[in-house]
A and B are shown apart, each in its own frame.
Chain A
Amino acid sequence: MKLPRRDNDSEIPTSSMADIAFLLIIFFMVTAVFSATKGLEFKLPKDDNKPPEQEEAVFVKVAADGSVLVDCRPMELDEILAYLEPKLLRNPEKPVILYTDASAQYKSMIAVYDVLGMAKVETHGYKVKNISVPTQSEVQEYIQLFGFNPFESQCG
């Protein structure tokens, strides 16, 4: 006896593919995080105990309350670059010492460091190349050398 032949359509079942795909999407969406991978570059001096070189520098002090003194003059953040411009155009290698009070907030120091880093040759015609941020052990070395903290006594 000849069996009747059934015509079945040959197809790949894809009905659950969308479910799997959306599950994967949900997994990646849940595990994805917004990561901060940018910041301000900071060059540390070598720990070689060399005596400090004597050179006239611009002295920027961040006080405990976050206020800023540039060469002992109180200044707003947006005034700093205008003050530095003629000095750095004359001498592009002029060092800038950024001294922050120990009890000041980290963000106050970053705000000033950020302003110094904003000067670009393309836009401002100069760049602050030599930013020195003395650490406490360096300050101690200066105290041993001079007998007092030159950064604290700088502005009287």
Chain B
Amino acid sequence: MRLKKGTKAPAIIPTASMADIAFLLIIFFMVTTVHEVDRTSVNLPLAQSREEAEKGSAIVVLAKDKFGELYYMFSDGTNMSHTVNGPQDIYHEVSAITYRDSTTQFILKADESVRFELVDELLDTLRKADAQKVLLLCQQATVNRG
């Protein structure tokens, strides 16, 4: 007996759900994307006992460029960070913020390899400008369970 030829199904890739997947991904990225006020690339020191920074905190940056030269940046927490000349400028910026709200948190984003005296100078500047809360920004250190 001769078998009947099967019905010819068109060879297509089902793409009906692709748009759903794509829109799910879009929603994911839209929800997780945050507006950052500072994008300076800094080698942060490692720490395990970290706390979350408060939203809207001002940021003081002490970073090294590709030639190893140090530079300072500052953001008041709402505007993008800009270059400042040094602790003296930072003092004026911080004073202006603490005058309005003394409880503002300041994030210190400093390169891990800078000499402590420079960080110390910044901490001193923040103290003199009446800053009370400082967060030393760190990267997550891997927990040694060995």
A-to-B contact residues, CB < 8 Å: 14, 17-18, 21-22, 24-25, 28-29, 31-33, 35-47, 62, 100-111, 113-114, 117-118, 133, 135-137
Contact = CB atoms under 8 A, between A and B. Distances in A.
A39 B29 contact: no
A103 B120 CA distance: 11
B88 interface: no
Interface of B: 15, 18-19, 22-23, 25-26, 29-30, 32-34, 36, 39, 44-53, 107-108, 110-121, 123-124, 126-128, 130-141
Contact of A105 (B25, B33, B116, B139): B116
Contact of A36 (B44, B108, B132): B44
A47 B127 contact: yes
B50 A106 contact: no
Contact of B117 (A36, A42, A103, A118): A103
A100 B136 contact: no
A107 B112 contact: yes
B contact patch SS: mixed
A44 B102 CA distance: 12
B115 to A, nearest CB: 6
Contacts of A38: 50-53, 137-138, 140
A41 B114 contact: no
B134 A42 contact: yes
B138 A110 contact: yes
A105 B114 CA distance: 6
A39 B126 contact: no
Given A22-B22, A36-B44, A110-B45, A136 B120 contact: yes
B115 A36 contact: no
Contact of B134 (A29, A44, A136): A44
A90 B138 CA distance: 31
Contacts of B47: 39-40, 110-111, 113-114, 117
In this complex, which of B49, B111, B124 has the most chain A Cβ atoms within 10 angstroms of its Cβ? Answer: B49
In this complex, which of B18, B47, B138, B141 has the most chain A Cβ atoms within 10 angstroms of its Cβ? Answer: B47
